[in-house]
Every structure is written in structure tokens, then in C-alpha cells.
């Protein structure tokens, strides 16, 4: 049985591939690309049908962050000309959220820049969630406020939050290369705090920061082991004025291979195409829907996405449908685990080769990773900096949001 047959068979059973198999997905050629998409698509349809979950971002506080994350336009010392504003009032945030829900978004993601929230910040977000829920009691609320202190996750859960987002971003081995003001362990701790409080864990990665295939596979397996219910896959947006402004390593084909690898490792988990899809997938965005079952509608935190109606047209034209408010996103067996606030060692975090909280298997042969890295190094790194559009509408402005 060849690689794709093996991966499809495992994915349809909800099993996880080996690291060697995951690395081999990233090493496939462009001639094999449609076969890779088709195989990942079978797994996606097995667990999620043809539904696409829409999520909508509201940036509650933009810019002026004290952390030095190299990829971020809001970082300490960033010269990116982004919007900068302090906390939105609850009614302002609720108005922004209303636009996303009206456009079909099922989940509203409330994000604020900074190292982590103070207790006063938790109060602010609690008031904001109440204002949003007053307008739409059924909307899902995901909160992203940075590193959590003890008992803050419990307070957010009690206030009505459904999920907490905190991305691992890259592998533990290379985390220190992109951030020095906090550690990979700090991020893992926050995801565990959120999950332990009964919040659905939303945690993902950023591809395109110069990482190796081994790094990508490491972080994706780490997310699986943490029990992340939703895995956002971001493709680096190289903002001018940030240390990674010249990192243009991604092609549409590379992005699809990364998405497929994430799907095979997380067959029954929500896989979301997040920031950078318009910039890097470009005209191949519809193919991404055959792998991922979730996207953001409209704009991102500090950059603009394609028009909201174009997202909806793309979903319809590709033969998919927007997931309704009354539909469960995760398969039943995953929904039950998520509702119980599971942690490492459950079905949500088992690796498929014995489970448990430790590393999932050993490092496999590096040959596939080396082959892919060599192919990548030979590809020209073409800059598209003129296509990075800084957000100038929606939350924090007087202009209507893109939804």
C-alpha cells in the first residue's frame, strides 16, 4: 500500500500517521499534489462532510505589545504601520462581532495584544462577552489574551467563553529563534490551563518562518498531544517593519502540502486556514477547502483579507456549505471529550501508537525532510510585500468591517 493509501486508510479510522509518513507528505512533488489533496479530502469529508465553519476576528486592543515575537506586526519595536488603539468598549466590540455573525460566522474570536491579561482585563472581556451574547446568545466565543495566570481560565469559562486560543506557532527546538520574551513552555502551560478549566483548546502554528519540515511535524504532533480541538494554520504575513519581512518561502503548493500534513495528523480535529491564505494560497484557496473545514471570514487582526462575499462565493462555488449555528463542528466522539474539558491522555490527545502524555514516537528518517528542504532552497524567494494590506477598516476605525 503506498503512502497516500496508508494515510487515507488511517485517517478514515481516526488514526494518526507516523512522523516518517507526515514528513513524506511534505516531501511529495508538485506532480503528486492533486493526489495529496484528494487523499486529505477523503479524510476531511469522513469527519466533517462538506461543511465549512466560519470564524470572525475582533481585535479588542491593537499594537503596542511588550513581547518581541519576530513574526508579529504588533511586537515590541515593530515599525509596521498598523492600527494602534487601546481596549474597545463592550458595545464597540459587540457591533463589530454583529457584522461577522451576520456574514455567517459561527464563532467570534476576541483578541487583545499583550503578554497576558490583568484581572481588570478579564473583567473587560467578561463585559464584552456579555454584550455580544445579549445580541446573539448562540454565538461561540473564543478568547485570545496571551499567557494566562492561575484561575483566569476558570474566570473566562464562568463568564461564558467557549474556547481559548494560544498558538504554539513553531517547534520547541526553534521557538527561541523567534521569541525571547517568553518560552515555548509558557505557551504549553497556557494551553493546558485553558483546557484544564474546561475551555476548548484552540492552538495552531505559523508556517513560512524559515522552519524545517522536522519543525513543522514536531509542532503539529505537539498540538495533537496537547489535545487541541481546533488547529489554526497560519501562513506568515511578512509585514514590512518586522524582523521576518524578507521571509517569502511559501508557494501555493507548499501551503497545500502543509495543510494536508496537518489534516492527516489531526483527522477528526477542526483544521482552520488562518492568516495569510489569500497571500500564499492565492488562486488555489478553493483547494484548501478540500483539506481544512474552517476559515476566517473577512479581515484578520492587522491585515485585510479578501472581501467577505468573496469568501462565501468561494465556499459555494467549490461545492461546500457554511456550517450552521445548530451544527456541531467536531465529530460526536470529539465533542464529548471537548465538553468534558479533557487533558493529555484522553482520546483527544492520544497519538495512535499507545497514546499518553509523552512524545509521540521517535524521530524518523530525515531523508524526506532533507529532500523537501533541498527543493525549497532551490526555489526562488519571491517577495509580494506590495500585496500585504494593512487593515484600515472595522474594529478601531470609523469604517464598516469586512464581513
Q: Is 351 a catalytic residue?
A: no
Report yes or no on 76 lying in a domain. yes
pLDDT at residue 256 greater than cutoff 50? yes
The per-residue pLDDT for 340 is 53
Confidence bin at 338 (pLDDT 50/70/90): low
pLDDT at residue 269 greater than cutoff 90? yes
Residue with the larger pLDDT of the pair 353 and 62: 62
Beta partners for residue 200, in sequence order:
163
Measured CA to CA, the distance from residue 314 to residue 329 in angstroms comes to 20
> At what angle are helices 252-265 and 19-26 packed, to 10 degrees?
160
Q: Is 109 a catalytic residue?
A: yes
Report yes or no on 392 lying in a domain. no
The per-residue pLDDT for 370 is 39
The per-residue pLDDT for 372 is 36
Backbone φ and ψ of 149, nearest 5°: -90, 170
Measured CA to CA, the distance from residue 200 to residue 14 in angstroms comes to 19
| CB-based contact 101:58 (threshold 8 Å) | no
CB atoms within 10 A of CB 193: 21
Beta partners for residue 52, in sequence order:
322
Of the residues 19, 272, 277, 391, only one is catalytic, namely 272
Residue range 105-120: mean pLDDT, rounded: 95
Report yes or no on 402 lying in a domain. no
The range of the structural domain enclosing residue 118 comes to 3-387
How do residues 369-386 score in pLDDT, each as one tens digit? Answer: 333 334 333 344 566 666
CB atoms within 10 A of CB 213: 24
Of the residues 19, 44, 51, 72, only one is catalytic, namely 72
- Compute the mean pLDDT over every residue in the chain, rounded to the nearest whole number: 87
Residue with the larger pLDDT of the pair 221 and 386: 221
Q: Give the three-state DSSP class for 255.
A: helix
Confidence bin at 388 (pLDDT 50/70/90): confident
DSSP state, 13? T
Q: Which helix (H) or strand (E) holds 100?
A: helix 90-102
The per-residue pLDDT for 339 is 58
Of the residues 44, 69, 255, 351, only one is catalytic, namely 69
Report yes or no on 63 lying in a domain. yes
Report the number of distinct structural domains present in the chain.
1
Angle at 232 between CA 298 and CA 165, to 5 degrees: 95
Q: Is 142 a catalytic residue?
A: yes
Q: Is 144 a catalytic residue?
A: no
* Residue spans of alpha helices (H) in 159-296: 175-178, 184-196, 213-226, 252-265, 277-280, 285-289
Confidence bin at 336 (pLDDT 50/70/90): low
Q: Is 202 a catalytic residue?
A: yes
The top-scoring range by mean pLDDT among 56-65, 268-277, 347-356 is: 268-277
Q: Give the three-state DSSP class for 165.
A: strand
Report yes or no on 398 lying in a domain. no
pLDDT at residue 335 greater than cutoff 50? yes
The per-residue pLDDT for 385 is 64
Report yes or no on 399 lying in a domain. no
Of the residues 142, 144, 351, 360, only one is catalytic, namely 142
* Sign of the four-CA dihedral 59, 64, 145, 93: negative
| CATH code, domain with 233 | 3.20.20.70
The per-residue pLDDT for 383 is 62
Residue range 51-75: mean pLDDT, rounded: 92
The per-residue pLDDT for 349 is 31
Lowest mean pLDDT across 5-14, 163-172, 228-237, 350-359: 350-359
Confidence bin at 337 (pLDDT 50/70/90): low
The per-residue pLDDT for 382 is 64
DSSP line for 366-401: SHHHHHHHHHHHHS-----GGG--B--SSTTSSSPP
Amino acid at each position: 500500500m503506498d503512502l497516500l493509501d496508508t494515510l487515507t486508510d488511517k485517517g478514515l479510522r481516526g488514526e494518526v500517521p507516523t512522523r516518517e509518513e507526515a514528513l513524506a507528505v511534505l516531501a511529495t512533488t508538485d506532480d503528486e499534489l492533486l493526489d495529496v489533496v484528494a487523499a486529505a479530502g477523503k479524510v476531511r469529508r469522513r469527519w466533517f462532510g462538506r461543511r465549512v465553519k466560519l470564524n470572525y476576528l475582533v481585535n479588542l486592543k491593537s499594537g503596542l505589545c511588550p513581547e518581541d515575537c519576530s513574526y508579529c506586526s504588533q511586537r515590541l519595536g515593530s515599525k509596521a504601520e498598523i492600527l494602534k488603539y487601546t481596549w474597545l468598549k463592550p458595545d464597540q466590540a459587540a457591533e463589530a462581532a454583529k457584522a461577522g455573525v451576520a456574514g455567517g460566522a459561527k464563532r467570534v474570536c476576541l483578541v487583545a495584544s499583550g503578554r497576558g491579561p490583568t484581572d481588570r482585563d478579564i473583567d473587560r472581556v467578561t463585559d464584552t462577552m456579555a454584550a455580544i451574547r445579549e445580541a446573539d446568545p448562540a454565538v461561540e466565543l473564543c478568547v485570545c489574551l496571551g499567557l494566562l495566570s492561575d484561575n483566569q481560565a476558570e474566570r473566562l469559562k464562568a463568564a461564558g467563553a467557549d474556547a481559548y486560543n494560544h498558538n504554539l506557532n513553531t517547534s520547541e527546538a526553534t521557538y527561541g529563534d523567534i521569541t525571547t520574551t517568553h518560552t515555548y513552555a509558557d505557551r504549553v502551560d497556557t494551553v493546558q490551563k485553558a483546557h484544564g478549566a474546561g475551555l476548548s483548546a484552540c492552538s495552531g502554528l505559523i508556517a513560512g518562518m524559515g522552519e524545517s519540515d522536522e519543525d513543522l511535524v514536531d509542532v503539529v504532533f505537539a498540538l495533537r498531544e496537547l489535545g487541541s480541538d481546533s488547529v489554526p494554520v497560519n501562513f506568515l504575513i511578512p509585514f514590512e517593519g518586522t524582523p521576518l519581512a524578507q521571509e517569502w518561502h511559501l508557494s501555493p503548493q507548499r501551503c497545500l502540502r502543509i495543510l494536508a500534513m496537518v489534516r492527516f495528523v489531526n483527522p477528526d480535529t477542526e483544521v482552520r486556514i488562518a492568516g495569510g491564505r489569500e497571500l500564499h494560497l492565492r488562486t488555489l484557496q478553493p483547494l484548501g477547502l478540500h483539506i481544512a473545514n474552517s476559515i476566517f471570514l473577512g479581515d484578520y487582526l492587522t491585515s485585510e483579507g479578501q472581501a467577505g462575499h468573496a469568501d462565501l462565493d468561494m465556499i459555494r462555488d467549490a461545492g461546500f456549505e457554511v456550517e450552521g449555528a445548530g451544527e456541531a463542528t467536531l465529530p460526536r466522539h470529539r465533542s464529548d471529550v471537548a465538553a468534558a474539558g479533557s487533558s493529555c491522555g484522553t482520546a483527544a490527545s492520544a497519538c495512535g501508537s499507545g497514546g499518553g502524555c509523552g512524545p509521540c514516537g521517535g524521530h524518523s528518517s530525515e531523508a524526506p525532510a532533507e529532500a523537501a528542504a533541498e527543493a525549497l532552497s532551490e526555489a526562488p524567494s519571491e517577495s509580494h510585500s506590495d500585496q500585504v494590506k494593512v487593515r484600515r477598516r472595522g474594529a478601531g476605525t470609523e469604517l464598516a468591517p469586512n464581513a
